[in-house]
Chain A
């Protein structure tokens, strides 16, 4: 990440509400044109961080640098950031066209230019004929698109979204995620989206920022966060990972399912460790081929169509395994199996 490509630098931002620490020392560099998702459970501070960026809250300490200049003192209406709110906040007393044109009108754009821009945006969001409708006559998905168009109309420096898709039903949400990603790429606008939905974050983000209790737990590309979670919280929050207690470090190694596995040299001996392994990265084999691997007993099996979900009890832990159907011939509840993992797919971290 080169520094001249940093669009927004969140430099040591903290926020206290009275005695409550909502954010502590957040450090993030957001690249120009990238799509960043702030992901975390409710109360992790992700919305507070977004509101500080938008200017609706002020940081207790730290700096916000947009293209290198501090914007802490710039009021929200002078920041030029387009924002999509959780409730969408379309103006009910204005038509669709006037909603979209409102930001342009405030900028003194001529009537004709406003109309052209509204028409262009309505085409982009594939709703060319709704300009004169009142907002109340729109469906949920249409409102969503109009709110996005209204925020993009002002050609925002930053495009901020606060859980905008959470009110939609699952199928519509999937479609909107794809559309949103395509729109963002088309406009090339630096985008920050807040969500508690890990699928949404994986789907949209170039960079995933996982927050908990007001602190960044991990910030990396979605595939990295998924494959190599930085800690047990991230592994657990991103879902479907097995957390295995692997005891303490001895000579730079831990014992994982009967095999010695090297850990980061940063961890001193005797540190208690945990490992995260995804269900699809555990393989099962007949006991005869165990070759030193741990042996477990199948406790539960369910055919999910493309794959089978299996729960194996091994060394007092229940592991979730997902394996393609073809590999599950001859397995049933009670069968003993050898359990092994691909060491490159394991993350080991301090317990």
Chain B
């Protein structure tokens, strides 16, 4: 009775959010409808031609590049985030904890444009790094770290890091010291405890964080545009190019649908992986 009541109350309070989500669902449906339109510029009739038109080596490379960069950036962001999460939870001083939290959060607070120009100032052909290396006589010609895949990768890792850290922090907080001590009392060294107890207990949190980061990176648009300089055609950039110079609305919609579909598959796969690995318990 009281549960039913609180659920209906929860529903009532969720109503504004649900209403806010509706236009988004509408947009998704609109994109889907456009992607099967018979005309490139307007919704008119039905055709799968937009999808067939995407079966080109160019678009295939774009899909592959998106998956590759999103995957590598997610992996690196996770590897960087795990020690940061442990550091953040181990800090005793509230001031130190707050300073580190704000530092990690900064990429979420700062405008992407500002961050991208920051990278350009640092790593661009006449940026801080190149000019100091040149004045030290270590290099003759600038190293090209930007306007290629490396640049995009750096940008993706940097912008998605906070999305990785905070979910991991909350699962690290949930780790009980007694579990680790229990493993130790049974004879497990520190590394053994880490792999046998810490990692499995963190696994759901790690996969959750990785899923968020992957979805964020796969749909990235500003970073590949600004740091890839058009040469790195991740799907976000490719979709924009279909719209803006080419006015191929239905093609862009179809590419968007494919991006959503791929991201969903990856997310489902990761949650399936979590379930499989925890089901291992019952071996």
Contact = CB atoms under 8 A, between A and B. Distances in A.
B91 to A, nearest CB: 18
A134 interface: yes
A93 B281 contact: yes
B178 A103 contact: no
A154 B176 CA distance: 22
Contacts of B192: 77, 106
Interface residues of A, number: 32
Contacts of A150: 182, 186
Given A95-B283, A106-B192, A132-B282, A89 B181 contact: yes
Contacts of B182: 83, 85, 89-91, 150
Contacts of B185: 54, 76-77, 79, 81-83, 151, 160
A41 to B, nearest CB: 22
B201 interface: yes
Nearest to A96: B281
A331 interface: no
A39 B203 CA distance: 39
Contacts of B278: 93
Which interface class (under 10, 10 to 19, 20 to 34, 35 or more) fits B? 20 to 34
Contacts of A107: 187
Grouping DSSP codes into helix (H, G, I), strand (E, B) and loop, the B interface class, with mixed when no group exceeds half, is: helix
Given A85-B178, A85-B182, A87-B178, A95 B281 contact: yes
A314 interface: no
Contact of A154 (B179, B181, B186, B203): B186
B92 to A, nearest CB: 13
Pairs A-B, 3 closest by C-beta atoms: A103-B186, A89-B178, A89-B182
A83 B181 contact: yes
Interface string A88-124: 0111111100100011001100000000000000000
Contacts of B188: 77, 102, 106
B281 A89 contact: no
Interface in B187-209: 187-189, 192-193, 196-197, 200-201, 203
B187 A85 contact: no
B276 to A, nearest CB: 13
A182 interface: no
B187 A77 contact: yes
A141 interface: no
Interface of A: 54, 56, 75-83, 85-87, 89-95, 98, 102-103, 106-107, 132, 134, 150-151, 154, 160
**Which of B186, B189, B192 counts the most chain A CB atoms within 10 A?**
B186
A86 B178 contact: yes
A117 to B, nearest CB: 13
Given A90-B182, A93-B278, A98-B283, 9 more contacts: A76-B181, A77-B183, A77-B186, A82-B185, A87-B176, A91-B183, A95-B281, A107-B187, A151-B186
A106 B186 contact: yes
Contacts of A134: 281-282
Contacts of A90: 182
Nearest to B278: A93
Nearest to A81: B185
Contacts of A75: 184
Contacts of B281: 93-95, 98, 134
A160 B178 CA distance: 14
Contacts of A91: 179, 182-183, 197, 200
Contacts of B176: 87, 89
Nearest to B199: A93
Contacts of B187: 77-78, 80, 103, 106-107, 154
Contacts of A79: 185
Contacts of B183: 77, 91, 102
Contacts of B193: 77
Contacts of A93: 200-201, 203, 278, 280-281
